[in-house]
Structure 1
Amino acid sequence: MSFTLTAEPGDSIQATPLYLESEYSFNVTPTAVQSGFGRLGFTSIALGTLQLEVDIATRRILHLWGLCPRQRWKPAELGYPGAETAVVTVISPDLVPGVSIDAGGLDDWPVEFDERSGWFRAIRAGSGTQENLFLIGTDTAIALSGNNLKSVWIKPKFVD
């Protein structure tokens, strides 16, 4: 399914990204509901088994969550290019609570991890370098080229 995004200046969400070693998955604390979102429900943009959580009422992308075993992560030297704080929202399509927007499967979103810096990135296959990087939450950024999603960056806290 095709979708378009936009970024506007705004405050980032204060939620700590986590990698839960025992579950091989990403999550955040506090949750989106604890942060006051979800009045009309949630949907997500599915990047294989990873999900970008989207608040229906505001159309705002909140955080990354989902299954992503470390065995899949490719070593990389990512550093962190810096990002402008922004609110990234879904322009289209119409959002339906609980119905994900498909952005492609596992092969479409290879994942990389920089052991030295602690940054993780899911990048659209063949996308090259990102155009604009926007900080949407604590240690969570989204790269766009125009209105298209190119990559997601997080620096998670690792939890056993």
Structure 2
Amino acid sequence: MSKLVALPGGGAAHDLNWFATGGLFDEVAAFIRQHVRDERARQAVTAQATSGHLFLADLPEPVLTDVLRALRDELPAYVNEVIYPPDTASAMDYPEIFIARAKSLAHLAGRSIALRESEARSTTGPEGPTVVTARAEPGSPLRGRLLCQDAGDIDFLCDPGSRAEKLARAGVDGSASLCIGTLRLEVGIATHQVLYARGYSPRDSWQAARFDIPDMAPGAVFADPDQPFVPGLSVALDQSGSWHTQHDDRSGWLRISATGEGTTGLVTLVADGIGIGVHAGHLVSVWLRCLPS
């Protein structure tokens, strides 16, 4: 019998539903309980899980945001290390199917976060600073794998050996988001370093195109706001809506560019499969190599 985890989708009657069999559901429910700091909310999660469902929208803030971020950022590693560790996976038939099902909840959590942020911007206006300048410096890209799902979910999985480096680049205060619609660039709150891209970009919104792939020097891009980044708040880069999303199926590269700039800028490879274009002190393009997952 399938059990349900429902994540808020950014509006009434728009939940994002994830289904799993009892054993996997119980493991995920235990993971969620670990990240619920409020005792009353934890009791509510336990009661719902006993009934075979979890409606995360029922959680109060900031508990809901904490849980969604934990699902997005920490669940993939938890799946590999706790739910399906190597010795367990090696004894299973087709373990990749079960691992992918478990990790798909992390993708849904990322989509939930992006949709909620998009809805907040549409109802209350752009959040955070309105002016962001950008600069590129020499460096090395963050190692990992960019995932572009057919459903439109985009995520970046750090190599296990690069997780400490990701935390160091983000700094002690964690990360905030620069948003282009529902696509987000994670940026260190303290360091201002652009880490990687994640979020949601539906394939039916991509324009087919042919374009040359620029040279991408390995390095780092820093986004400097006119006001401090605030944990939990995003900064919209698309306030005018003038960004185009184009895909070249020959190379697999997806190009998101600010049309008003007339250039994609000097592109820096900040993470495996992720380039950031900077021109005249502004972030003007994002390049994602969306290969089949």
Task: Check the 8 A contact 1:72/1:111 in 2, yes or no.
Answer: yes
- State the match for 2:116 in structure 1: none
Match of 1:74, as an amino acid? Q
Matched, 1:128 2:262: yes
The aligned runs of 1:24-63 (5 Å cut-off) are 24-30=152-158, 35-37=166-168, 39-63=172-196
Greater Rg, structure 1 or structure 2?
A: 2
Q: 2:141 aligns with which of 8, 12, 24?
A: 12
Q: 2:283 aligns with which of 127, 140, 149?
A: 149
Matched, 1:81 2:209: no
In 2, Cα distance between the equivalents of 1:108 and 1:11?
30
Which protein is richer in helix relative to its size?
Answer: 2
Unaligned ranges ≥5, structure 1: none
Task: Check the 8 A contact 2:265/2:285 in 1, yes or no.
Answer: no
The percentage of aligned residue pairs carrying the same residue is 29
Q: Output one character per residue of 1:73-100: Cα deviation in whole Å (capped at 9) or x when no partner.
A: 0001123111111111122231111211
Match of 1:158, as an amino acid? P
RMSD, aligned α-carbons: 2.0
TM normalised by structure 1 equals: 0.89
Matched, 1:112 2:246: yes
After TM superposition, which residue ranges in structure 1, 4 or more long, deviate above 4 angstroms?
A: 31-34
Could you tell me how far 1:33 is from its partner in structure 2? 7.6
Could you tell me how far 1:126 is from its partner in structure 2? 2.6
Unaligned ranges ≥5, structure 2: 1-129
TM normalised by structure 2 equals: 0.50
Match of 2:150, as an amino acid? E
In 1, Cα distance between the equivalents of 2:291 and 2:240?
23
In 2, Cα distance between the equivalents of 1:88 and 1:34?
15
In 1, Cα distance between the equivalents of 2:199 and 2:208?
20
Q: Secondary structure of the residue that 2:204 maps to in structure 1?
A: helix
Could you tell me how far 1:30 is from its partner in structure 2? 2.0
In 2, Cα distance between the equivalents of 1:106 and 1:33?
36
Could you tell me how far 1:105 is from its partner in structure 2? 5.1
Question: Which stretch shifts more, 102-111 or 28-37?
Answer: 28-37
